Structure 1
């Protein structure tokens, strides 16, 4: 006897929303049968083999992770904006998703959210990664994470392929952070030349950030 599941169960099996299944039914992509009361029912065997995007089957049942990051607490407005864009995009695609919010320099690999994200990718717990911009993940080295995603059959979606307007500001902040760390050592040498060099670099970074 053929086994049928409800639209909610079929959506769970495919990792999409029920509205997506209704749309697929209306377009003929995945047609549901109807009960006498008009409710949609899906043949389990058809749901189990359905692959609308031609992706690895396992990736369809793994969750979509949307990742948002800013460098400092005073950028909360920008973080909220990123999250809103990610949520609207994922919802429009009919994806079931989770948002990871992260705080820290784009040059750091030790951010709590990023470490959690990479661990889950390596463990096969992510089917899709969504970003507003590539640099939200890492300033340098994002390609390494993307390579891991490819090896683990994780689809990477970057909503905006253009320049991120906050790139220069965050880059200046990252450079200033590096300068600050090394300046302590150079000041410790009690070198007037080193002090003058550091002061000049810090001033240049401040000027660039305020431009």
Structure 2
């Protein structure tokens, strides 16, 4: 009888998991591909796969989708990001929770991020879903990913490309700082300070164009 060999993506969809989970199961010796193509691509025999056969207590842990934007004027972007995550998780049939933050990617003290890390370290999370790597943290994301790997948390990144550039994120952070100082210095009614801040703001906005 001819076997029906399918790709890792098709096998993952059949089992109700992500391709990354199949790669992890291979490393753990749970599910070894039946064949590999000359190009090294995995192929699985669909006849021997059964949805749920590899489920363990780990699969009962929570799926968390994390969304973040840098500034208050991006609230609409945050809502769109959350909708993308919700639709993706729902299509996979996962029970999930969305955690969101509004703050710089350089700030590792955000409430949502701390809640996420507490849940990961507490062994409550089985899967983390984000739209882009940089939505987690601009610097330090690799450390969080290492923690997830150590805790057996599957990380799903919907878009592997760059989200916002370093310059764009930095410009937004600088503008936030300017806004705070503007409120303080304008209150002091210093014309010199006002001109200084307006000049810096104009320079930062020019970089963003």
What is the TM-score normalised by the length of structure 1? 0.62
Q: How does 1:162-177 map to 2 (within 5 A)?
A: 162-165=161-164, 168-177=167-176
Decide whether the 8 Å contact of 1:59 with 1:128 is kept in 2. no
Unaligned runs of 5+ in 2: 1-15, 17-46, 185-191
Structure 2: how far apart are the matches of 1:99 and 1:160? Answer: 17
Decide whether the 8 Å contact of 2:130 with 2:157 is kept in 1. yes
In structure 2, what is the equivalent of residue 155 of structure 1? Answer: 154
Unaligned runs of 5+ in 1: 1-19, 21-26, 32-46, 185-191
Residue 30 (1) aligns with residue 50 (2) = yes
Structure 2: how far apart are the matches of 1:197 and 1:58? Answer: 59
Structure 2: how far apart are the matches of 1:73 and 1:181? Answer: 13
Distance change >3 Å, CA 179–CA 64, structure 1 → 2: same
Decide whether the 8 Å contact of 1:66 with 1:130 is kept in 2. yes
Structure 2: how far apart are the matches of 1:73 and 1:201? Answer: 20
Structure 1 position 182, deviation (Å): 9.9
Q: Any idea what SS the aligned residue of 2:125 has?
A: coil
Give the root-mean-square deviation of aligned CA atoms.
3.4
Structure 2: how far apart are the matches of 1:198 and 1:80? Answer: 31
Distance change >3 Å, CA 153–CA 182, structure 1 → 2: farther
Distance change >3 Å, CA 147–CA 204, structure 1 → 2: same
Decide whether the 8 Å contact of 2:69 with 2:78 is kept in 1. yes
Decide whether the 8 Å contact of 2:67 with 2:82 is kept in 1. yes
